[in-house]
Amino acid sequence: MKNINWDQHINEMASGYKNSAILLNALRAGIFESLGEDWKTVAEVADGCQLDHRATGIVLHALVAADILLQDGERFCTEPEARPLLLEGSPKTLKSILGHNLFMMRGWAHLDEVLQTGQPIRREERDEAQMRDFICGMENVSRISSQEVAAKIDLGSAQKLLDLGGGPATASITFAQAFPRLQCEVFDLEGPVNIGREQIVQAGLSHRITTVAGDFHTDDIGSGFDVVYLANIIHMMDEQHTLSLLQKSFKALVPGGRLLLKDFFLEDSCSEPAFGAQFSVNMLVNTQGGKTYTRSGVFQLLKQAGFTDFEVIDVGIHSQVIICLTPSGE
């Protein structure tokens, strides 16, 4: 039995939104970009971001209390170790995924409605900035895990890889850099693909990574691939759509080809790990039928689609990759 201080536990759960709201809205308002690497007064930050002076002062002091900012008299600066995670131009930036979290948080406030209806919340379409936060946020979170996949799974014998739902092309760029023989194709909706093209050009890999704009639910995804990489996609879909996409992936592979299915997976209890159980609520709020799948449930869907020879590899903090094969035809 867990040893829990219930007063503290319940109070921390109930008030956890406060620091999130302070951090994410300060980021959205441009406070960290305004501070940069400098020390500034409340007035300098407020005027630089076109914010109210009183409100800015209160939030800056709250960020000091939360150990995000430092204070020296009337001047403030961002903690040096936090700075690379909060500034847009940093190679370690988390700015986009944090911006996406703000969009998600506003939806979570309507969880009571979802509990009554079982339907995701109704909201307006993301504006351009919110869509860019979402797509570039996927780059923020997949940067390290893609490197781990490349380090732990040898793709050296593969020549052609389909990055299905590959968004900003983070995985394809990482794999192409790690495996010189590999040609990659990123398949996603037009908006994500446009951002992916920017990243591919910036990486100098246009000659080895191509993009295709389409809807993988309804459009042909191609064929003749040695590897299909499907990362952080199935949690957005119900089981019928997931099975359909796995069947499409099967047909897109050559005999003996590999599917690398990366996602967050639950144990059969559906309560562990805690991150996966919590993430399933996020899918409940924001998708029609999405959830965190159990690993055993995914195995069953993969078998239905025709895949065999399952192997599981841990990557990132919360993710795993399920590696499986199409029959070789021998």
Give pLDDT, residue 201: 96
Cα(245)–Cα(268) distance, integer angstroms: 23
pTM of the model: 0.87
Closest CA to 69 of 42, 99, 104, 97: 42
Give pLDDT, residue 127: 67
Give pLDDT, residue 189: 92
Domain positions in the chain are: 6-87, 140-325
- Enumerate residue ranges in the chain where pLDDT < 70: 1, 124-128, 130-141, 329-330
Structural tokens at position 248:
């499409």
Do 6-87 and 140-325 show the same overall fold?
A: no
Residues 295 and 320 sit within 8 Å (Cβ to Cβ): yes
Residues 172 and 186 sit within 8 Å (Cβ to Cβ): yes
Architecture of domain 140-325: 3-Layer(aba) Sandwich (3.40)
Give pLDDT, residue 95: 87
Q: Do you find a cis peptide bond into 192, omega within 30 degrees of 0?
A: no
Give pLDDT, residue 253: 98
Give pLDDT, residue 3: 86
240-271 core/surface letters (b: 16 or more CB in 10 A; e: else): ebbbebbebbbebbbeebbbbbbbbbbeeeee
Q: What is the DSSP string of 104-120?
A: HHHHHTTHHHHHHH-SP
Residues 231 and 263 sit within 8 Å (Cβ to Cβ): yes
Give pLDDT, residue 167: 85
| Residue 39 DSSP one-character state | -
Cα(324)–Cα(228) distance, integer angstroms: 10
Give pLDDT, residue 124: 65
Q: Of 1.10.760.10, 1.10.10.10, 1.10.3720.10, 3.30.70.270, which CATH number belongs to 6-87?
A: 1.10.10.10
Cα(213)–Cα(222) distance, integer angstroms: 12
SS3 of residue 186 by DSSP: strand
